[in-house]
């Protein structure tokens, strides 16, 4: 769903078996809460949006290996990112 000018995902329901979600280059202002419930998720791409905050619930994503938040409006990320023990790549360039 990259490059779709999506600004929100209303009542989004994601399959609990998803391992990759790419919502890059859209108009999202926040990370949909449903994404934090995807415990099998390995790759989450949210680059080039308008995201200003990441929830502490990011720590639930224990299987996450790649998290791309580049080119958003973040001032920082919560320390709970440290609970993502499989994380190998974290992209944060071009934020605030």
Q: State the virtual CA torsion across 37, 20, 31, 88 in degrees, nearest 10.
A: 90
State the Cα–Cα distance between residues 60 and 54, nearest whole angstrom: 12
Q: State the virtual CA torsion across 61, 62, 66, 67 in degrees, nearest 10.
A: 30
40 has pLDDT over 90: yes
Chain segment 1-12, per-residue pLDDT in tens: 555 556 666 556
Q: Which residue has the higher pLDDT, 71 or 13?
A: 71
pTM of the model: 0.89
| Burial call 69-89: b when 16+ CB within 10 Å, e when fewer | bbbbebeebeeebeebeebee
């Amino acid at each position: 769903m990259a490059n779709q000018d999506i600004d929100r995902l209303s009542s989004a329901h994601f399959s609990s078996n998803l391992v990759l979600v790419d919502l890059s280059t859209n108009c999202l202002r926040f990370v949909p809460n449903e994404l934090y419930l995807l415990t099998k998720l390995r790759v989450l791409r949210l680059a080039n949006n308008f995201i200003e905050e990441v929830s502490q619930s990011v720590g639930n994503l224990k299987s996450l290996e790649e998290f791309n938040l580049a080119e958003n409006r973040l001032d920082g990320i919560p320390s709970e990112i440290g609970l993502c023990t499989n994380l190998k790549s974290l992209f944060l360039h071009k934020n605030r």
